[in-house]
Amino acid sequence: MRDLIKAFKALSDETRIRMLKLLLERDICVCEMEHIFPISRSQVSRNLKILMDAGFLKRWREGKSVVYVADRSNCNQYCWAVLRLLADSFNDEETTAKDREKLRQVIADKVRERSK
């Protein structure tokens, strides 16, 4: 039951849901997230840590950057079910489209490469 409670608590914030939605599509570093969402780097890191602790994400170091991605292979049954649901949800929403566009711009601007 604790895994389920952690998953639901992690999803109790719209920003974390939006982050997770993007992380289902590709790996993103903290510096890129900072450019996508209008929050501080510490808030980005805190939100990613909450998602990680709930079992939704995996991470690794890439130079000075910490990179995150949705962990579809090692997550618990609750996180796996939510990831499947989230992958099929909100695809036509304006907010999702704006987040994706910001991500495309961050990639085009090579934010990750500049932060190394």
Spatial distance between the Cα atoms of 54 and 61, rounded to a whole number of angstroms:
20
pLDDT digits (tens, 9 = 90+) for 89-103: 999 999 999 999 999
Domains of the chain with bracketed CATH: 2-114 (1.10.10.10)
Entry pTM: 0.92
Pairing of strands 57-62, 65-70: antiparallel
Nearest to 27 by CA among 54, 47, 6, 48: 48
pLDDT digits (tens, 9 = 90+) for 10-69: 999 999 999 999 999 999 999 999 999 999 999 999 999 999 999 999 999 998 889 999
